[in-house]
Structure 1
């Protein structure tokens, strides 16, 4: 059975994964993670966004000990250190 694409995606076209990186200001691990996400997503032309714990206190409470946290399509995929090779494989079509 073939999954049905969301209604805003033309038939036969696959939507890009939703990549989000949860960070905290002043976090050196977050800076490292941001650099990896920028590099890989830039090379693969995958859009991504950064979520700050300053703006999302609900996420800070939930993930305080794991920041930075990488989410792909709403699923937590990595935390603390984002591995470039693993991210590439997670985003591969």
Structure 2
């Protein structure tokens, strides 16, 4: 199927959801975070060396934050702030102010 590879490329991608900088900015509790596994760390290291990341400074910054903290977060971590924080505050603001990269 390599002859169809050009149809499988993604011309643009957006990083949505909970960013590592959001975790810092919102002061999400440590017990709501997940330690990076060795596999996660290897994947993160690999991604940071890719040429398309080098030309996306915001992606690089987010990956550096994640690497430094050695933690990751799922969207459910927002419930540590309040049970309705995701639907009442986070998503409306993310959509209203374009909080994706």
* TM-score range relative to shorter protein: under 0.3
Where is the strand percentage greater, Structure 1 or Structure 2?
1
Where is the helix percentage greater, Structure 1 or Structure 2?
2
Highest Rg: 1 or 2?
2
TM-score with structure 1 setting the length: 0.24
Higher normalized contact order (CA 8 Å, seq sep 6+, divided by chain length): 2
